[in-house]
Amino acid sequence: MVSAVINGLLTGAESGDDVTDSPLKGLKDQAGIRHHWINSGFGALPVNSLGQGWNGEYVFNSGDLVLDLLHNFFLENGARMAKIRVYETTDHPIARQMLGYLFVRGGVHALAYAKALEELTGVDVKKMLPIPNIPDADFKEARRFTDQGMHGKLYRFSETDFEGIRQLWTGTHPLDGTPLEVIDGLPETAGGMADPPEAPAVSSPGLHPGELAEVVQKLMRTM
């Protein structure tokens, strides 16, 4: 339901830094969401492909555990469908790399909900997977991650988080027998925070270089 908007895809979209020289003119005639750069410059936004923000009403929490897990099982697969469609829409290598990663990580979540439903109802829900019926490994950008066994790894911040998860996330992956393991800490593949370049055409960060240097100096003196 909520499509990813990729941080940095607009990076470099301007023609020059001079705001009086129509540096965003090239964007106007492209299909896309003008509201994005008019209001938010080149940053990432938590909005869908209609420009609608993520909404707290998307959280489904009825209290009934089976129903809640069923919803989330559906949701993970619905998201996988939408991400596959986005993948089909672009051949940009960074976008596809990111999507390949998301297929694998989203697949872990779908399997986890399936296993939880199986525990509670005895129904072998995981046999429905993958939905849509295309294994992650069919996408070459995902294969890099399945080759590392990432479709079998569930991450948590520390061993005191989600203490019951180890009992559930056990056994092997139904598609290829990869062992399922719970990892305490961040994925090794995790990158750092994005550090996008300054973009004066959209007033980012909104200070002249001299001003910024001055602020930094002032801050340093307070240490």
* Contacting a copy of itself within 148-207 (CB under 8 A): 164, 166-168, 170-171, 199, 201-207
Chosen residue from 6, 9, 84, 182 binding a copy of itself by CB under 8 A: 84
Alpha-carbon distance of 51 to 35, in angstroms, equals 8
54 C-beta neighbours (distance < 10 Å), count: 13
Residues in 55-74 at the binding interface with a copy of itself, rule: CB under 8 A: 55-67, 70-71, 73-74
Task: Write out the DSSP string of 69-84.
Answer: HHHHHHHHHHHHHHHH
Candidate ranges 88-96, 101-109, 147-155, 176-184; the one touching a copy of itself (CB under 8 A): 88-96
Verify binding: residue 119, a copy of itself, rule CB under 8 A: yes
Q: Which two tokens stand for residue 34?
A: 């003008």
> Running DSSP on this structure, what letter comes out for residue 7?
T
Chosen residue from 31, 186, 191, 210 binding a copy of itself by CB under 8 A: 31
End-to-end CA, the chain: 47
Q: Which two tokens stand for residue 47?
A: 């909005």
> Running DSSP on this structure, what letter comes out for residue 186?
-
CB of 177 to a copy of itself, least distance (A): 17
CB of 108 to a copy of itself, least distance (A): 18
